[in-house]
Amino acid sequence: MSNHPDAQAFKKNAAEILAGLQGRTLSAKDRLAIPPQEMPVQDPQVRCRNMGEVAVGYCEEQARLEALRCLQCKTAPCVASCPVRIDIPGFIAKTAEGSFGEALAIVRGSNLFPAICGRVCPQEVQCQSTCTVGRSLKSLEKAVSIGRLERFVADFQRACGGEDAPALPRATGKRVAVVGSGPAGLAAAADLAKAGHSVTVFEGFHKPGGVMVYGIPEFRLPKEIVGGEIEMLKKLGVTIQLNFLVGRTRALKDLFRKDGFDAVFVGTGAGLPKFMDIPGENMVGVLSANEYLTRSNLMKAYDTEHADTPIFRARRIAVLGGGNVAMDAARTALRMGAEKVYVVYRRTEKEMPARAEEVAHAREEGVEFHFLENAKRVLGDEKSRVTGMECFSYTLGEPDASGRRSPVVVEGSEHVLDVDAVIVAIGNESAPLLPQTNPDLAVTKRGNIVVDEAGKTSLDRVYAGGDIVLGAATVILAMGEGRRAAASINKLLAGA
């Protein structure tokens, strides 16, 4: 099943260790001696040509054993490092004893979307980065796998037939509009609905989920998982109106004036792709990662038997960038049939913002990395079709404002990479529509909406959060922003 021992071997090994621990009161030393549980995955040579989820998920025995590694320390630094402040020791303790439903209930108290966050959030630089176990073992890689356990309890409950509909709170009579159904918008909608407000989410696309459905590939986040989590939101009474573009279908101010909403949360994300601004970038075969992934993920272009969406197919593809989006685009390109995929990044692997796990998976699948290189220009034939990419080589100089060492061009280092497509994955900018149609809405030079500590914008009763405020960030950070703004809206409406 994978290049590691298969899932059954993991299950057997975990069961044997659990049997040896049964009936014992575990000391901290005992817990630190329990081996970290490895995630079963598809074999790289198999998965690089299918869209099935790469990580198979823990079995019950693995989940319980991994949970027993938690020291249940009183300071709980992991909670402070979680953007949505999940009671991590609480849900892990319930997981260790096999009370998976209770564990999930604890997680859902802070995060309505554990099956999503357990898969795509960078736990290694958030909750797991401060884990006492990892620090005690002097290896953050040996921290308790909080994200995998979060995923497990959500998946286990779904496999058992799902969850009961949550009890609906007493209605307040207040109405809130949420613009955008990405992570920030959905998290805000959940907290607002729990407070008893009538919530309507307006989504411009034909499917809800934002970046979780158009940006993150099926092999990392199956869309049935996203759909299942959104169904939980609907059980709270949230209405989702699709194909509705606030700013075009309806002006932002008309949500108050014509539709009678009492407050608005804006979570429209960062969906405007950036380009390199180099010669040849208008060639046939140069794509933004945003478009490429949207065609594959949202429009299902990979499913040629059932979808008619066209997608550019190429033999040799260069992906420019070093973040998670670049990894997603490169790995998708392999699955779309490319023979060679190169990730071209102007710094070294150490400086890459992508998750280490995603980089490792990409390398296992055959993606080749060209570090300390970047595009100078795109080359093409007489029909303006990509035939190659001329690159510079770089060295690293002094740190820039972000703390990373600045890339410096090596003079005379020009060389050509033989490719017939280039995917640009160097980041996205904030969606410009609402700032353009609302001149009184304060934004930064980069187009991000300006908010105060409560998440309030310069417009009365309008709040914002997520990538439209932060710039391109992570799912869980966007959710944290949505929850913060929702708390402020709840406070506002309670006094109205």
Q: Are residues 222 and 364 in the same domain?
A: no
Output the average pLDDT for the chain: 94
**In sequence order, what are the residues at sequence separation of 6 or more whose Cβ sits closer than 8 angstroms to the Cβ of residue 27?**
none
Digit-coded pLDDT (tens) for 179-203? 999 999 999 999 999 999 999 999 9
Q: Are residues 12 and 140 in the same domain?
A: yes
Q: Are residues 191 and 286 in the same domain?
A: no
> How many other C-beta atoms are found inside a 10 Å radius of the C-beta of residue 233?
22
SS3 sequence of 397-463: EEECCCCCEEEEECCCCCEEECCCEEEECCCEECCCHHHHHCCCCCECCCCCECCCCCCECCCCCEE
What percent of the chain is predicted at pLDDT more than 70?
A: 99
Q: CA angle, corner 116, sides to 113 and 119, nearest 5?
A: 140
Q: Are residues 229 and 376 in the same domain?
A: no
How far is CA 111 from each of CA 58, 150, 222, 232, 473, rounded to the nearest angstrom?
20, 10, 19, 12, 18
Query: Does pLDDT of 5 surpass 80?
Result: no
On the 0-12 / 13-18 / 19+ scale of CB atoms within 10 A, 349 is middle
Q: Which two tokens stand for residue 490?
A: 């709840």
Query: Does pLDDT of 474 surpass 90?
Result: no
Q: Are residues 212 and 309 in the same domain?
A: no
On the 0-12 / 13-18 / 19+ scale of CB atoms within 10 A, 258 is exposed
Give the residue from 107, 132, 159 where a domain finishes. 159
Q: Are residues 375 and 295 in the same domain?
A: yes
pLDDT at 139: 94
pLDDT at 334: 97
Q: Are residues 296 and 344 in the same domain?
A: yes
Q: What is the pTM of this model?
A: 0.93
Query: Does pLDDT of 349 surpass 90?
Result: yes
pLDDT at 468: 93
Looking at 229-238, 368-377, 407-416, which range is the least confident one? 229-238
Which CATH number do you get for residue 151?
1.10.1060.10
Banded model confidence at residue 457, pLDDT cuts 50, 70, 90: very high
Query: Does pLDDT of 1 surpass 50?
Result: no
The span from the CA of 464 to the CA of 460, in Å, is 12
Q: Are residues 21 and 114 in the same domain?
A: yes
Query: Does pLDDT of 177 surpass 60?
Result: yes
The span from the CA of 282 to the CA of 266, in Å, is 33
Q: Tell me phi and psi for residue 391, to 5 degrees.
A: -120, 155
Q: Are residues 307 and 423 in the same domain?
A: yes
Q: CA angle, corner 452, sides to 204 and 78, nearest 5?
A: 85
Digit-coded pLDDT (tens) for 9-60? 999 999 999 999 998 999 999 999 999 999 999 999 999 999 999 999 999 9
Give the residue from 410, 428, 446 where a domain finishes. 428
Q: Are residues 88 and 155 in the same domain?
A: yes
Q: What's the total number of domains in the chain?
A: 3
Looking at 138-147, 243-252, 450-459, 471-480, which range is the least confident one? 471-480
The 3-state DSSP class for residue 219 equals coil
Banded model confidence at residue 430, pLDDT cuts 50, 70, 90: confident
Looking at 152-161, 272-281, 465-474, which range is the least confident one? 465-474
pLDDT at 2: 42
Strand ranges inside 117-194, DSSP E: 175-179
297, containing H or E segment: helix 289-297
CB burial string 379-400: b at 16+ within 10 A, e below: bbeeeeebbbbbbbbbebeeee
Pairing of strands 386-399, 373-380: antiparallel
388, containing H or E segment: strand 386-399
Q: Are residues 417 and 470 in the same domain?
A: no
373, containing H or E segment: strand 373-380
pLDDT at 4: 52
Question: How many alpha carbons fall within 13 Å on the CB side of residue 376?
Answer: 16
Q: For residue 124, is it within any domain? A: yes
Q: Are residues 16 and 148 in the same domain?
A: yes
Mean pLDDT of 159-186: 89
Find the domain containing 124 and state its range.
7-159
